[in-house]
Structure 1
Amino acid sequence: MNRSFILSTGSYLPKKTLNNDEIALTVETSDEWIRQRTGITQRHIADEGELTSDLAVNAAKNAIEKAQISVDEIDLIIIATTTPDKTLPSCATIVQNKLKCKNAFSFDVQAACSGFVYAITVADSLIKSNSRIKYALVIGAEIMSRVVDWKDRSTCVLFGDGAGAMVIKSAAQSNEITENSMKGIISANLYSDGNVDVLCTNGGISSTGDSGKIHMNGREVFKHAVDKLTASVEETLECNNLKITDIDWLVPHQANIRIIEAVVKKLNLPMEKVINTVDRHANTSAASIPLAFDYAIQKSKVKPGSLGLLIAIGAGLTWGSVLLRY
């Protein structure tokens, strides 16, 4: 069976940062309060004229340059986002236009914070079923700062903006992977349960005519996140006849350090194997995993031949995991 593997990664963060002390000037909070409860110290905020597609294009260019391919070689573009430029057309087609990727087909995936796990799974599935796809560009891009209520202390401290990208290559059309090599995406598990009330916005196109602002039941989200992410990892390990000790690294959704620590504790996985960027990026929703993964590669925390997991949970509730050898 044809497989796919990560050829390159890229990322982009807006230049503007907003630290906890600056937030404390507008809402009743403090740097200590935010750090203790979330692990976050700062977040990046898009400029007024920056669009989600702009962030995505910058991350994509970074990944394409590292892949040493031309935009004309890209056959598929998938963007995971909750904050697209427009209701239509898709953010992916806008990015396709800006990159001048004439030979690709493109679409968006909306699974909130789980979006990138969903998107990379869809890309892998399409590569396996469509022999004409050699290169897929998968991007997670968000401007969450525009859907938070900056007067709501419980949510505004959590989110930031950014974009991460991966170029995924078909193993069948590569000389870099032998037939017996395990490099690539090995398996994926996706889930949702229709629990739409614990994390949502209070608006939408067909209900209020606007995007609305984020509302969250923090305690419920925490409980579901820990239980569901742990179960997802355990099922992935069981299906692949692996033990947690076989895992070299874990890239979790960067929502909250307390959630990450609780999941890792239940899995009995050492924290040194966990990629953590929540302190500097905050929760960038669908962009958090590709941003963290690119950071981990830059810092040599994810090395060629190593085995790891991507895991995420988001509104819906949606969640899932991807097992891969880098």
Structure 2
Amino acid sequence: MNVPVGVVGAGSYLPARRRTNDEVAVAAGVSAEWIAGRTGVLARHAAAPEEAASDLGAAALKSALAAAHLEVEQLDVIVVATSTPDELGPATACRVQALVGARQAVALDVTAACSGWLFGARVARDWLAQDPSARYAAVVGVEAYSKFVDPTDRATASLFGDGAAATLLGPVAEGRGFGAFTLGSDGRYADHAMIAAGGSRLPVTRGQRITMNGKGVRDFILDVFPRMLAQALGRGRVTLDEVALVVTHQPNPVLLQRAAREMGVTDRQLVVVGDEVGNIGAANIPYALAKAASDGRLRDGDLVVLIAFGGGVTWGTTLLRWSGASAVRVAPALATQLQLH
């Protein structure tokens, strides 16, 4: 019989440079108050010139391993979710694997934009559940958006930030861990949020910038959030009152809170981190999950709804029954990392 798979460790990393709205507003041609009022974002972090996505991801993974008291040799699988890879090839996961020294692990990337971590968690959960020789997997969400943001474009410059978070998956007690996953994609709306240049269609070496159809993205979020929440509750045969936390992608805290309140999600249930770090893409959900754990908002047996959505467009949801016996925490090894309370 398959052993349940859940979260057994978590870590995160934010680059040292913190950019406030005052700084961003100057180049974007708006005020700091405009950014805060429209987006709810107050600050975001930017990677150093020498830092790539793999550097951020490796730092987050090292902290997760320390938190879970696991050795890197115990990793069987590393899945990296990112829209801002070090290069088009090889996989950024291979770069992360080398940086942490996980020579025994299989390393691969998952590209599903801001839904990437959830897609990666599905891959890792199924891998562990079906391979009796595999015990632990790492799912890393990381973005280095600052390398691709046009600072004069207020729609993207005000929202996007850099950061990474790593989640370790492994065996948990019966009745704990991940439930069924629901994932989806609709490529008809791939142009809503994208980095157009740098691939096989526009193979250039410079000028890659993030573009976003703000109205299209807003409409998508307001449509997909309630559908995913209802689907998660329905598949799990639970009510919203039974849910401890709703952990979701953080594209825009103002829009997220609006969508959540319309569905009856309370402020106590909703985890909001976008105000502190902005939209960090595939890292948003694992970062928010780690933050909630470090803040003491999760106890053994708590039910968490995870909701992802992103460019592509992509979306997904699952239920996670928290395992307190796993002693999930965030290692305080790095100064820019989340601290335990």
Q: In structure 2, what is the Cα distance between the partners aligned to 1:218 and 1:41? A: 19
Question: Which of residues 208, 223, 233 in structure 1 aligns to 2:202?
Answer: 208
**C-alpha deviations, 1:258-277, integer Å up to 9, x for none?**
22112212321111111111
Contact preservation (8 Å) 1:40, 1:278: yes
Question: Which of residues 214, 218, 221 in structure 2 aligns to 1:222?
Answer: 218
SS in 2 for 1:150: coil
Contact preservation (8 Å) 1:192, 1:316: yes
Q: How does 1:1-326 map to 2 (within 5 A)?
A: 1-171=2-172, 177=173, 181-194=174-187, 195-210=189-204, 212-326=208-322
SS in 2 for 1:167: strand
Between 300-309 and 72-81, the greater mean CA deviation after superposition: 300-309
Identity %: 34
**C-alpha deviations, 1:203-236, integer Å up to 9, x for none?**
1321222472111111111111121121011111
TM-score, length of structure 2 as denominator length:
0.91
1:150 CA drift (Å): 1.3
**C-alpha deviations, 1:101-153, integer Å up to 9, x for none?**
11110100010111111111111111111111100011001101111111111
Cα RMSD after superposing both structures: 1.2
**C-alpha deviations, 1:179-201, integer Å up to 9, x for none?**
xx311011211011112122222
Contact preservation (8 Å) 1:121, 1:322: no
Q: In structure 1, what is the Cα distance between the partners aligned to 2:157 and 2:283? A: 17
Contact preservation (8 Å) 1:111, 1:315: yes
SS in 1 for 2:28: coil
**C-alpha deviations, 1:43-98, integer Å up to 9, x for none?**
00000011111101110011001111111110000000111112111111111111
Q: In structure 2, what is the Cα distance between the partners aligned to 1:227 and 1:246? A: 23
SS in 2 for 1:53: helix
Q: In structure 2, what is the Cα distance between the partners aligned to 1:42 and 1:21? A: 9
TM-score, length of structure 1 as denominator length:
0.95
SS in 1 for 2:37: helix
Between 15-24 and 299-308, the greater mean CA deviation after superposition: 299-308
Specify the code of the residue in structure 2 equivalent to 1:205.
G
Q: Which runs of 5+ in 2 are unaligned?
A: 323-341
Q: In structure 2, what is the Cα distance between the partners aligned to 1:241 and 1:288? A: 26
Paired residue for 1:174? Answer: none
Specify the code of the residue in structure 2 equivalent to 1:292.
A
Q: In structure 2, what is the Cα distance between the partners aligned to 1:107 and 1:221? A: 28
Q: In structure 2, what is the Cα distance between the partners aligned to 1:125 and 1:305? A: 22
SS in 1 for 2:96: helix
Specify the code of the residue in structure 2 equivalent to 1:49.
E
Specify the code of the residue in structure 2 equivalent to 1:200.
M
* Aligned residues between the structures: 318
1:11 CA drift (Å): 0.3
Contact preservation (8 Å) 2:114, 2:281: yes
Contact preservation (8 Å) 1:233, 1:321: yes
SS in 2 for 1:205: coil
SS in 2 for 1:197: helix
1:25 CA drift (Å): 2.0
SS in 2 for 1:82: coil
**C-alpha deviations, 1:290-314, integer Å up to 9, x for none?**
1111111111122222101111111
Contact preservation (8 Å) 1:15, 1:46: yes
Q: In structure 1, what is the Cα distance between the partners aligned to 2:196 and 2:152? A: 15
